[in-house]
Amino acid sequence: MSSQDPYTDPATGLLRNKLSITSAAELDRVEAEVTSLRLVQLRERDLPGDYDLAHLQAFHRFIFSDVYPWAGQLRTVAIAKDDLFCLPQHLEGFAADVFGRLARRDGYLRGLDRPEFLDKLTELLADINALHPFREGNGRAQRAFLAQLARDAGHPLRWEPMNPEQNVAASQAAHRGDNQPLRLMLDELVEVTPAETATPAEPAQDHPARTAGSSFTPPEGNRAVPGENDVAPETPSRSRHLGAPRNKTQDPATPARGRSEPNPTTRGDRAGTTSSLAPPSDREVSYRLEQPDPDAVLGLHEVEIASG
């Protein structure tokens, strides 16, 4: 590692946190407890937004703001897990491409039958994994984000039964351009509604290799999936896709992408969702909240592969 990670305390090697915790075990325990409270709240009420990058940031901020001072902020350093995730200078551009397609081409995944919904959800998850916009906590934030999106689309998504090892393997396959394992996993997690007849999962269309990888936090303790922490490799050349907008030759049938204009008629505008969820009170967190931000490597660092 060529440079000091600004998100970590050089004395302890831990992410700088608001709770002044210097023990890895203690930070892991407290983070799991605090974020679990927030995730429960997100299952009970929607977090208003337009299902874009800003909305994803709002989810991350809501979940981690009691632990990390940089919660909800885009990382400023390169991170990797085997291969690099999207480079920080390309985060906003790549996100505009990903969420622009979600809004314009895919209509926020609404009005789709189950097979088509699974195809689109698989592609979206693989892309958000490749984006990996935060220094830590990407997995939990994107899972909460996608659960609400799926609920709004009429296809409830339950992450609790997810197998961490299967998730890691599926994420790695998606990175190589094979989305089928990821689709098969999601097929087991997306509920079959009463109006639907169970249909066999169809093979997912392969996509160009992407630096993907995101796994769901195991139900136990809401911790990051073992082996999913991203690391900052010393040789950037190992990355196949550094997050720049996708090669135009990837999908000739896909229309030009870009930043989409929010559509008030297709966003998460459900009844009773106009008020924002407030951070938990100090009584919910029995620790002091104060300290600088921890999770960004000026060089390259290991970050959770979608599990965090």
Secondary structure of the chain in HEC code, one letter for each residue? CCCCCCCECCCCCCECCCCCCCCHHHHHHHHHHHHHHHHHHHHHCCCCCCCCHHHHHHHHHHHHCCCCCCCCCCCCCEEEECEECCCHHHHHHHHHHHHHHHHHCCHHHCCCCHHHHHHHHHHHHHHHHHHCCCCCCHHHHHHHHHHHHHHHCCCCECCCCCCHHHHHHHHHHHHCCCCHHHHHHHHHHECCCCCCCCCCCCCCCCCCCCCCCCCCCCCHHHCCCCCCCEECCCCHHHCCCCCCCCCCCCCCCCCCCCCCCCCCCCCCCCCCCCCCCCCCCHHHCCCCCCCCCCCCCCCEEEECCCCC
* Per-residue pLDDT band at 103 (split at 50, 70, 90): very high
Residue 39: domain span: 24-303
pTM, two decimals, is 0.69
Position 2 in a domain:
no
pLDDT at 273: 38
Position 4 in a domain:
no
Position 3 in a domain:
no
Q: What is the pLDDT of residues 141-158, one digit of tens each?
A: 999 999 999 999 999 999
From 78-82, 139-143, 205-209, 244-248, the region with the lowest mean pLDDT: 244-248
pLDDT at 207 over 90: no
Q: What's the rounded mean pLDDT across residues 25-33?
A: 97
pLDDT at 12 over 70: yes
Based on the structure, what is the number of domains in the chain?
1
pLDDT at 89: 98
pLDDT at 42 over 60: yes
CATH code of residue 188: 1.10.3290.10
